[in-house]
Structures are given as structure tokens and as C-alpha cells.
């Protein structure tokens, strides 16, 4: 029996989602928690990787059990075992061929900026001291909807077969006094892609590069020409969308 598990986590203490040889990961922590009460090794496959220090409002993963289990019971058991920085939102049964990574229709990330100093948001947003031209940043962000190849914003030397992605939305909005968020949705994301895009858009906002220079960076397919990656602490995996037919109970 296959299940999708929806969880959120504070990524500050983790090396990312994926299991690492000598560092704590969310995937390993979840698998160990499943073993604790199911008493069998459970492999969990996530919707994608998140970098060290990146958070998730919603990560989705799948796992298999030899016999069906009550989803509410499993959720409560996991939330009682997992550390306070990981929380299970729900567990739902899916068809046997459902895959958390390959069947995802889209993923949405959000990146948070604070223009004012805040003792409460320092682990979940990037503080900006210099003023930013958000109107120009939004104008330039629209270019991303027409881009196919995102090599300029990809971590180098990865094992991906293609750097093509389809971005369906990318925009900045003010959510409170001095606080802004960048929302971006695509069918897939490359490693480090969102943080590299944000870092380059910040250069636009500071008027360090122009709209045409941003377009030239994209066309160059050269990561070295784009901006530095924005800090991991401001980035959240917000939502992962799937086709309805995967769910056995019409979730």
C-alpha cells in the first residue's frame, strides 16, 4: 500500500531533505521515526531536494507498507516521535504507481525579505538594509515566464539531464510593513535555482544590473554571470500539486 505524507519543517538544523553521510537530514529523521513504531525499514521518497537550511510549509513524500494502516493513527504516532521542528500535516492513500517526485504537476516556493530588523523573523527571512526597487524587480521577474533553459540559475555539475523548466508565475508582493515575499511556481526546479534567481533579482532591485542585462545573464547559460545565491533561511517550499487521479479517497 502506498501513501503520500504531507509535512512541514524548519530546516535550520538540517543539511536539507536528502540523506547525507555525516549530517542530519529531514528524510533520515522521518525514516527513523517510521521505523520506531512500525518496526520495519521504510524508504521515503520526497517530491524533491531542499538545500541545507531551507524550510518547507509543505513537503510531500511517498512510502510503501506491506499492509494498510490507519492514516490518522500514523500521523499521530509520527508527530509524537518527530522533533518539534518537523510536523506531519496528513497522510493519504494513493494508487500504487503514484510517485511524489515524478507525478508532481507543479511546485511553489516563497522567499521572504525583511526591510526592517526583526528579532522574530531572523531565521525565516533575509534582512535587507539597502532600498530595493520592487516595481523593477517585478517587471524583470516576468521575463522568467518566457525562459526555457535555466542553466544560469542552476548549481554547477549536477546530475540532471536537462535544465529546462516552465515557470508559470514569478512575482514580488508586500505582505506587511517592511516585509516582502517572492513567489515562484514551476513544473520543476533545479538545485539552487530559486536562491540564484532571488540573488540576481536583488541586484536588479539595487540597480546594479538592468532589465536587459538580466536577460543577457539568462541567455548566457552561465551560472558565474548571475548573482550570488540568496541565503537559505528565507526560502520555503510552499506547495506541491498532484493530479486528482492519484488519490484513492479524492483528496
| pLDDT, position 160 | 72
Q: Which residues of the chain does CATH 3.30.70.580 include?
A: 2-102
Centroid of chain to Cα 210: 27
| pLDDT, position 121 | 87
CB 242 within 8 A of CB 104: yes
Check whether domain 2-102 has CATH 3.40.1550.10, yes or no: no
121 has catalytic annotation: no
Report d(CA 99, CA 95) in Å as an integer.
Answer: 9
**Dihedral (CA of 178, 192, 231, 19) sign:** positive
> Scanning the structure block, which residue is given the C-alpha cell 548549481?
155
Q: Which residues of the chain have pLDDT under 70?
A: 157-159, 250-251
Work out the end-to-end distance of the chain between its first and last CA atoms, rounded to an integer number of angstroms: 16
- CATH number of the structural domain 106-238: 3.30.70.660
| pLDDT, position 153 | 96
Residues 232-245 have pLDDT tens digits of 999 999 999 999 99
pTM for the model stands at: 0.94
Residues 170-187 have pLDDT tens digits of 999 999 999 999 999 999
Residues 105-141 have pLDDT tens digits of 999 999 999 999 989 888 999 999 999 999 999 999 9
Catalytic-labelled residue, pool 43, 51, 70, 146: 51
Q: Which residues of the chain does CATH 3.30.70.660 include?
A: 106-238
* Torsion, CA 152, CA 157, CA 158, CA 161, rounded to 10: 80
Amino acid at each position: 500500500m502506498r501513501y503520500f505524507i504531507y509535512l512541514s519543517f524548519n530546516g535550520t538544523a538540517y543539511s536539507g531533505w536528502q540523506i547525507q553521510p555525516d549530517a542530519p537530514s529531514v528524510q533520515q529523521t522521518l525514516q527513523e521515526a517510521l521505523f520506531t513504531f512500525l518496526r520495519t525499514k521504510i524508504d521515503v521518497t520526497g517530491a524533491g531536494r531542499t538545500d541545507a537550511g531551507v524550510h518547507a510549509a509543505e513537503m510531500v513524500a511517498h512510502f510503501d507498507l506491506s499492509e494498510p494502516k490507519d492514516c490518522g493513527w500514523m500521523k499521530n504516532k509520527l508527530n509524537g516521535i518527530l522533533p518539534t521542528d518537523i510536523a506531519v500535516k496528513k497522510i493519504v492513500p494513493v494508487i500504487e504507481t503514484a510517485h511524489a517526485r515524478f507525478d508532481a504537476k507543479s511546485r511553489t516556493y516563497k522567499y521572504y525579505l525583511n526591510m526592517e530588523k526583526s528579532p522574530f523573523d531572523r531565521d525565516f527571512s533575509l534582512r535587507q538594509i539597502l532600498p530595493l526597487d520592487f516595481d523593477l524587480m517585478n517587471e524583470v521577474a516576468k521575463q522568467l515566464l518566457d525562459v526555457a533553459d535555466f542553466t544560469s540559475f542552476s548549481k554547477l555539475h549536477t546530475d540532471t539531464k536537462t535544465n529546462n523548466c516552465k515557470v508559470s508565475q514569478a512575482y514580488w508582493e508586500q505582505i506587511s510593513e517592511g516585509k516582502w515575499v517572492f513567489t515562484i511556481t514551476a513544473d520543476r526546479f533545479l538545485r539552487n535555482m530559486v536562491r540564484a534567481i532571488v540573488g540576481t533579482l536583488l541586484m536588479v532591485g539595487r540597480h546594479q544590473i538592468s532589465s536587459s542585462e538580466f536577460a543577457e545573464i539568462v541567455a548566457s547559460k552561465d551560472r558565474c554571470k548571475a548573482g550570488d545565491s540568496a541565503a537559505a533561511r528565507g526560502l520555503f517550499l510552499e506547495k506541491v500539486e498532484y493530479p486528482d487521479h492519484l488519490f484513492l479517497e479524492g483528496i
